[in-house]
Structure 1
Amino acid sequence: MSNMMTEIMAFLLTISGWVLTASTVATDYWKVSSVDGTVITTATFWSNLWKTCVTDSTGVSNCKDFPSMLALDGYIQVCRGLMIAAVCLGFFGATLALVGMKCTKIGGSETTKARIASVAGFNFILNGLCSLAACSLYAHRITSEFFDPLFVAQKFELGAALFIGWGGSVLCILGGLIFCLSLTEGLSLRHAERSYNRDASFISIHQRHNPSTNLQKDPQDQGGTSRQFGRNAYV
């Protein structure tokens, strides 16, 4: 029961992390910068992996999609690939986790389910690492430009999407590590089954080659039984 509850907790952690990671892809505020003019005029610049926008004080936003993938900066292309890979790995990990969990009725034997759960754990760990690498790379670019005194263009700060992505990555990695422990448990169970089968086969072979061992009795017991039978024969 405790192992089942542990797997359920790991499943909840990984699914929550995967949802956060997937929502980060479509979140707007990967980087944010505010420009204050007069008391009335205030503009907010923000960007994500797909577009860059500006919002004025009235709430009107003007956005511009990135025109060409080949014309993008290298770090944006890498972040796109890592985030899409993270979402796909999380999807396959969730499917395998449903099959490999002990509380489900599919997946085969306990050893097979443990292996499937461990594969799901590796998928979630890779999911968390991909998302963590993408958010960290994007944040490194923002911070390096912000603290560079020779960078004269618009400077940005870390957006909310990066923190959401980091949180989802941590949840996926923790849940994936818990799922990977199912592999150790499955291997130990399989080793115990093999040991039991080997001992049982050894005993059966020994009994087949030495059938007289089960029929032999102690001579003292036989003599005592005959004497006892002789004393009580005519009672």
Structure 2
Amino acid sequence: MKDKSWHFYLPAMILLLILWYVISIIVHLPIIPSPVLVMERLGNIFTQTIAIHALYSLWRIIAGVFLAIITGVPIAVMMGYYKKCDKILAPIVYLTYPIPKIALLPILMLLAGIGELPKVIMIFLIVIFQVLVAIRDSIKTIPKEMFFPLYSLGASFRQIFLNILWPAVLPNFITSLRVAMGTAISVLFFTETFGTKYGMGYFIMDSWLRVNYLDMYAGIVVLSLIGLFLFGFLDLVENYFCKWKKKV
């Protein structure tokens, strides 16, 4: 049976637009323009202006998440599977995880400059801790009895990973990405107000400073659509690779 979660997105968007329209009529101030005017403005400037900002923001998110996955997954698997590795690395994770990542932005800008690198690293730092904790804890909940048949057959670590570890941690891994994604987008908005002329954060704040509320709201709409795209993509990935969850 095909997943129909996408069918609920359109009614939700229509409901939000109606609510926005009603509020704009009640308030009747330039600071809350009608969604009709905003959508018209968005259509006029998207290809010429907003598209390049959206691509920059999307690239930074994808790069940061990709780096967090290729770095965090192997470390998390080692922490969950090998007790000695967990004893060494767990204290480091516990000490650094609570640090607000946005507080590290000045340090990253001093060390890596004000270009693309600190923005990607900021996304990386937000996502990797979610990945580490989710995967490590998922592996620790796997009953030891599940490993015995493969041990008796002389299975390699690669075979154990592919047949037991990865299928067991995949749902929690995707959930951890969902949780981290919202925070990553919020932090990206803040980082894009420094040292760049591209990105949705820069576009929205620049429009605000120019008192161009139509452009500002158009940017907010696009940023929301980026988030919708990313969350929708994760839903599709989960529906494809975790089909067994629908039968539970």
Tell me which interval the TM-score lies in, with the shorter structure as reference length. under 0.3
Q: Normalization by structure 2: what TM-score?
A: 0.26
Q: Normalization by structure 1: what TM-score?
A: 0.27
Which structure has the bigger radius of gyration?
Answer: 1
Say which structure is richer in strand: 1
Say which structure is richer in helix: 2
